[in-house]
Amino acid sequence: MDRTDTMPQGELTVRIPAMPGDANANGDIFGGWVVAHMDMAAGIRAAERARGRVATIAIQTLTFKKPVKIGDTLCVYTSLEKVGNTSMTLSIEAWTQSRTSRKETKVTEGIFVMVAIDDDGRKMSLPPAAV
């Protein structure tokens, strides 16, 4: 286990409890629910940089490392790794916090690519970074 599995990397962007309705037949939380919240967090962070609308163009990597349990709080951390002409590459980490110990465990990680879009859904160049 390296340092990236013991301490979240990036900005805490989304926190949400995992509810029984989000569970699969095994009694754990659906992977799609976790990915949806990672995508949401990527969208929030990218829209801040784009100062406008964004869309997900690619999920380059995605690794489910541990299951999420009902009642855990999902905490999604975002890091803006690379900014291109229209695209932003973000490292996204999902961690869970247990109700009892508040201990955080990394459950999923991935690389998401978001593109700045205009009101018609067409790609657009990113504005300069805010100072």
Ligand X SMILES: CC(C)(COP(=O)(O)OP(=O)(O)OC[C@H]1O[C@@H](n2cnc3c(N)ncnc32)[C@H](O)[C@@H]1OP(=O)(O)O)[C@@H](O)C(=O)NCCC(=O)NCCS
The footprint of ligand X (CB under 6 A) covers 55-58, 60, 84-87, 113, 115, 117, 121-123
**Closest distance to ligand X from the beta carbon of 58 (Å):** 4
- Closer residue to ligand X (CB): 6 or 125: 125
Nearest to 110 by CA among 59, 55, 52, 70: 59
**Closest distance to ligand X from the beta carbon of 100 (Å):** 35
Helix, strand, coil distribution of the chain in percent, nearest 5 = 20, 45, 35
Nearest to 72 by CA among 29, 109, 9: 29
- Closer residue to ligand X (CB): 43 or 106: 43
- Closer residue to ligand X (CB): 50 or 96: 50
